[in-house]
Amino acid sequence: MKQRMDEINERFYREADLSLVGPTSIIVNELFGNHDNCKIFRSIFLYLVSQPENPRTQKIISELHDYWLELGSNWISLGQKDGLIDPSLESKQTASYIVSYYFGLLINSAYVADESLFKPEAIIPFVTRFLRA
């Protein structure tokens, strides 16, 4: 799972432009897209979070959360430097909110029948409005 996030991170920096929509789209499409890599990632994630009593899976989810928080905080700081993200937002706290939102969406996507709620086209505007400077 960390490897998947590394791939998203590399793509983020390779394709980032001077707007929030492009980088946000990369992240959201890689997590919530309809291609096989996304489906596999979501299945593994759901399996891991369904095992809270297992110390090994707890450790994996905790490390994944911490890594996402680090990446998100770095991405937010970059957006603030570029004037795209509100500079008054504290990057780590804001990343924590967004990671929690993404974790919740990943879990809900397995149980909610209305798939339109989890399409990138619905998620991207929400996140960009939240961050906008």
Q: How confident is the model at residue 133 (pLDDT cuts 50, 70, 90)?
A: low
pLDDT, position 37: 83
| Superfamily for the 2-131 domain | Tetracycline Repressor, domain 2 (1.10.357.10)
Kindly report the three-state secondary structure assignment for every residue of the chain: CHHHHHHHHHHHHHHCCCCCHHHHHHHHHHHHCCCHHHHHHHHHHHHHHCCCCCHHHHHHHHHHHHHHHHHHHHHHHHHHHCCCECCCCCHHHHHHHHHHHHHHHHHHCCCCCCHHHHCHHHHHHHHHHHHEC
What pTM, to 2 d.p., does this model score? 0.81
More confident of the two residues 112 and 12: 112
Ranges of each domain in the chain: 2-131
Rounded Cα distance between 129 and 67, Å, is 24
Q: How confident is the model at residue 39 (pLDDT cuts 50, 70, 90)?
A: confident
Letter string b/e over residues 17-31, b meaning 16 or more CB atoms within 10 A of that residue's CB = eeebeebbbbbbbbb
Average pLDDT of span 109-116: 80
What confidence tens digit (pLDDT) does each residue in 52-102 have?
Answer: 999 999 999 999 999 999 999 999 998 898 888 999 999 999 999 999 999
pLDDT exceeds cutoff 70 at 17? no
Average pLDDT for the chain: 87
Average pLDDT of span 106-110: 85
pLDDT, position 54: 95
